[in-house]
Amino acid sequence: MKKNVIYPGTFDPVTCGHIDIIKRSVSIFNKLTVAIFKNPFKNTLFSLKERVFLMRESTKHIKNVNVCCFNELITNFAIKNKSKILVRGIRSTSDFSKERQMEFLNKKITKNNIETIFFFLL
């Protein structure tokens, strides 16, 4: 499937679960952008610069992965980057509930122009 997708998150820190989702995503889509969110209201273990560095180091062996940061609504970031698909990871039923609400809001904001694909963590 020739699509560019975005995997947004804080990635603080990057985990084996994140890398699993990245690998599974690039096996389906031709390009994946890992978009690291700079949330001014969240205290993170690592700085944004460190999180970007760690993600780049963790994914340098995976083809078709781009790592960048953003500090706006993910829908605006997706539109600017010409992507209509977001990738999200699900660990539990509470994650699913929260992510489903976010998907609904993203669809409402973009008038159904953004799809979210959920990967369940193994």
12-63 confidence digits (pLDDT tens):
999 999 999 999 999 999 999 999 999 888 899 999 999 999 999 999 999 9
Quote the distance between the C-alpha of residue 14 and its chain's center.
Answer: 12
Q: What is the reported pLDDT for 1?
A: 56
Number of separate domains in the chain: 1
Report the candidate in 83, 104, 94 with the shortest Cα–Cα distance to residue 34.
83
State pLDDT tens for residues 68-94: 999 999 999 999 999 999 999 999 999
Give the domain range for residue 21. Answer: 4-120
The domain spanning residue 58 has which CATH number? 3.40.50.620
**pLDDT confidence of 122, banded at 50, 70, 90?**
confident
Q: What is the reported pLDDT for 21?
A: 97
State pLDDT tens for residues 99-116: 999 999 999 999 999 999
Question: With DSSP H G I counted as helix, E B as strand and the rest as coil, what are the percentages for the chain, rounded to 5?
Answer: 40, 25, 35
